[in-house]
Amino acid sequence: MSVTSRYKDAWEGFWQDVPDRAGAVLWDAEPALTAGIHLALFEPHMTDPALPVVDLGCGNGTQTLYLADRFEHVAGVDLAPAAIARARRGDPEGQVAFTVADATEPTTVRRLHGELGDAQVYLRSVLHQCEPLDRGPLAEAVAVLLGTRGRAFVVEPDERAGRILRDLAQSPDGPPPKLRPVFAHGIAPGAMPDAQVPELFRAAGLDVLASGELPLTTTEYLPDGTRIELPSQWLVVGRAA
C-alpha cells in the first residue's frame, strides 16, 4: 500500500507555497521547545545511543538538524520533494541524509533499514495528518526501521487539540494565518481517537515502553499574544528486551 496521489500532491503543494522562512509553518517551532524537550524523554529509553536516528516526516528539517547536532548519523525522510529541497538548503554542510520517500511503501522502508540497520525513530505529529488507511502501514514502517534494538519517540496532538484547531478555524475572523494554508491544501488534521495511537504500534508488534502528556508548541499566537499550544500524548515504543 502507498499513500494516495491526492495526499502526495497536497503536501507537495503546501511546501511549494508556504513561505520559506523560520517559523512560517504552524508546527515549525524552535527545537528548544520541541525536539529538545522530546529528547529528554526519549534518550533514557534508547538501548544504544550510537544507532542512526531517522526523523520520519521531517518536513523542512528544522528538528532534524537539531538531532544532527546530537547524534552522529541522522536521516530525514519526507513524502514531499519540496520539503526535502528546503531541508537540504538549510543543511549546506550535509549533516543529514535527507531523502524523499513514501514511508507507507514496504519495499522503500525495507531498503532504508537495509542501508541504516536498526535505528531510532522520531515521529512528531505525523499520524494524525495521515489518511486513516495509511496510519497502520506507517506504524509498521516504524517497526521495520527499529529492528530489534531501536526505539521510537512518537508525539501526536490528542483529541482536545483537534477541538481547539476546529474552534480556531471557525472563529469569526477565520483561521489564524499559519493555519490557513493547512486547510487550503487539504491537509487539515484528521480526527484520531487517543487510544488509536498506542494500538497502531501494538498491532505492528511493538511495545509501549513509556507514555505521557505534554503541550505541543506551535509558531502561532492568539490575538492576545498567547502562543498556541496543543495538548498531545507521547509514547516511546520498541521491542521489549
| Summary mean pLDDT of the chain | 92
Integer Cα distance of 93 and 82 in angstroms: 19
In the sheet with 74-78, reading across from the earlier edge strand, the strands are: 96-100, 74-78, 53-56, 120-124, 151-157, 227-238, 207-221
**pLDDT at position 91 over 90:** yes
Residue 136, pLDDT score: 95
Q: In angstroms, rounded to a whole number, what is the distance separating the alpha carbons of residues 233 and 194?
A: 8
Neighbour-count burial for 141-156, b at 16+ CB within 10 Å, e otherwise: bbbbbbeebbbbbbbb
For residue 224, give every residue at least 6 positions away whose Cβ sits within 8 Å of its Cβ, in sequence order, or none: none
Residue 163's pLDDT band, with cuts at 50, 70 and 90, is: confident
Cell numbers linked to 42: 526519549
Residue 94: band (very low, low, confident or very high) from pLDDT cuts 50, 70, 90: very high
